[in-house]
């Protein structure tokens, strides 16, 4: 089992991983992995290697290091990218909308490419295109490990194809990167899982713990038909807390501060979409009102964008763990960050006072947006619509604002944020504000509503390594594969998955 998780994180370039623990089922590992170089905040686990004696398994180290293996992995992922498994926001019912049918092609590709997997594992389909593979373990008392990925990719508008350096579904390999939708989100992880198990089956390896693979097909549109159906299917089979651990897409490898970090994601931001609808009188554009619904909602959007959420690095935020790891193990960790980190550790009250600026977060955020939004609730106006004719005043205009909720905050905080500015605009233009009250729309009003996919911040996976946790297994195995110079650190990513 250790080997399986290790290979899953290794194959096909760099594989993003999230690691969410759902149970206290301990993993049994050799006592040699007891942990050395233990620091106060960022203990590093000893490299953990299999104790099973198997000539074929031991020969796998040579296989993984070979050019032949690398070239084969590139080919597998390249061909997977060429299958256009796009999921659109307006997808119809499965069976009615032919755009779903490309998933059949992808499933057939997996079957043809990984014959040993399909021979050794039991394959079941859920809601036509959801794929469940079960590799039965020898010890039924152990809860299964669940490996996840999704088959679908974000669509590519036809009008943007010419802007690509290489076509978005070419799977072109330029000697360093594989180009195309899904090459990093997340057919790479799916192919890595399949390739890992294909090799393990070929090496006559049998897991002690059951391994379940769950591949959704609409993660990019919130996963309702894919993971949304796969989850209850697995729950019916294994029950409450029936899964030991989940490995899904998430954070990545990163070279920073003179050190390479492996960053399993151990948490996930919250999520909500807030729809703003402005209803105002129509009329002819030759005798317009001073402000149309488009103008009013534009003013509201401008106010919201001019007032971003505060930067805050909560004690539960996994990125704080990476800062500690950097301070303790990275030679080029900035001295100012180290001072702020040390000061924060001594001043426990300062880190809970939201009225004060979080200087540690502000300094860390200078690294760029990818770091900034690990510590800040994001807000992005992504969809807007209003007006139907050039000479008719728009009676209705709406916009959807996407939020990814920071650790330590809630979707309600985002709702109040939008409501605060909507109230100001409503009063200015003598409009009634309906804020999350069930009234979707009314004449002369601004209405606010939250999406059904609203999510609280996910619970953070325990990362202690003084116990035999799954995080410890992953850490030790990763260091065994990549070397002891690698630092394993807790992490979080700015987006969301269908791991929920």
Residues with catalytic roles: 152, 219
Q: Which DSSP symbol is given to 146?
A: E
**How are strands ordered across the β-sheet holding 432-435?**
378-386, 396-405, 270-279, 445-450, 432-435
Residue 203 contacts residue 120 (beta carbons within 8 Å): no
Longest dimension (CA), the chain: 85
82 φ/ψ angles, rounded to the nearest 5 degrees = -70, -15
ω into residue 186 within 30 of 0, thus cis?
Answer: yes
Sign of CA dihedral 256, 258, 260, 265: negative
- What is the rounded CA–CA span in Å between residue 431 and residue 359? 40
350 Cβ contact partners less than 8 Å away, ≥ 6 residues apart: 343, 344, 356
Please name the residue ranges forming H helices in 186-332: 187-202, 227-238, 293-305, 318-329
332 Cβ contact partners less than 8 Å away, ≥ 6 residues apart: 257, 258, 259
Q: Nearest-CA neighbor of 470 among 21, 94, 3, 97?
A: 21
Tokens at 318, concatenated: 């996994």
The alpha carbons of the chain give a radius of gyration, in whole angstroms, of 25
What H or E segment, with its residue span, contains residue 63?
Answer: helix 60-64
- What is the rounded CA–CA span in Å between residue 173 and residue 185? 16
Tokens at 93, concatenated: 């019912």
Terminal C-alpha separation, the chain: 24
- What is the rounded CA–CA span in Å between residue 348 and residue 108? 56
């Amino acid at each position: 089992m250790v080997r399986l998780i290790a290979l899953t994180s290794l194959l096909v370039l760099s594989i993003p991983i999230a690691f969410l623990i759902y149970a206290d089922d301990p993993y049994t590992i050799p006592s040699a992995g007891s942990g050395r170089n233990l620091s106060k905040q960022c203990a590093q686990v000893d490299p953990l290697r299999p104790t099973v004696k198997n000539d074929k398994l031991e020969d796998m180290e040579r296989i993984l290091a070979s050019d032949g293996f690398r070239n084969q992995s590139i080919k597998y992922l390249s061909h997977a990218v060429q299958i256009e498994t796009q999921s659109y926001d307006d997808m119809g019912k499965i069976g009615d909308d032919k755009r779903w049918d490309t998933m059949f092609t992808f499933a057939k590709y997996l079957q043809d490419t990984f014959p040993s997997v399909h021979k050794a594992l039991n394959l079941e389909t859920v809601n036509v295109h959801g794929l469940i593979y079960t590799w039965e373990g020898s010890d039924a008392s152990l809860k299964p490990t669940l490996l996840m990925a999704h088959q679908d990719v974000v669509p590519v508008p036809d009008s943007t194809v010419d802007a690509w350096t290489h076509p978005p579904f070419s799977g072109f390999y330029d000697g360093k990167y594989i180009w195309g939708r899904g090459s990093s989100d997340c057919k790479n992880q799916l192919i890595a899982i399949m390739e890992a198990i294909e090799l393990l089956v070929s090496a006559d390896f049998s897991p002690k713990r059951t391994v379940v693979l769950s591949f959704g097909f609409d993660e990019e549109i919130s996963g309702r038909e894919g993971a949304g159906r796969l989850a209850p299917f697995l729950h019916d089979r294994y029950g409450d807390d029936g899964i030991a651990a989940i490995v899904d897409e998430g954070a990545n490898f990163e070279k920073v501060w003179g050190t390479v970090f492996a960053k399993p994601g151990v948490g996930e931001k919250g999520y909500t979409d807030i729809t703003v609808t402005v209803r105002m009188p129509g009329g002819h554009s030759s005798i317009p009102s001073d402000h149309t619904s488009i103008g009013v909602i534009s003013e509201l959007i401008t106010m919201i964008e001019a007032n971003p959420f505060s930067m805050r690095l909560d004690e539960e935020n996994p990125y704080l763990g990476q800062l500690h790891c950097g301070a303790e193990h990275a030679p080029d960790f900035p001295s100012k960050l180290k001072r702020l980190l040390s000061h924060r550790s001594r001043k426990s009250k300062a880190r809970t006072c939201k009225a004060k600026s979080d200087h540690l977060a502000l300094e860390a955020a200078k690294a760029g947006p990818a770091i900034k939004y690990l510590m800040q609730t994001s807000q992005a106006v992504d969809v807007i619509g209003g007006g139907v004719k050039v000479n008719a005043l728009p009676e209705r205009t709406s916009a959807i604002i996407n939020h990814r909720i920071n650790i330590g905050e809630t979707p309600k905080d985002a709702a109040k944020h939008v409501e605060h500015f909507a109230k100001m605009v409503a009063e200015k233009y003598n409009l009634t504000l309906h804020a999350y009250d069930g009234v979707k729309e009314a004449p002369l009003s601004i209405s606010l509503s939250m999406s059904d996919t609203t999510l609280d911040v996910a619970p953070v996976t325990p990362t202690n390594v003084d116990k035999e946790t799954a995080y410890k297994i992953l850490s030790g195995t990763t260091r065994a594969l990549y070397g002891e110079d690698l630092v394993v650190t807790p992490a979080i990513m700015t987006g969301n998955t269908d791991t929920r």
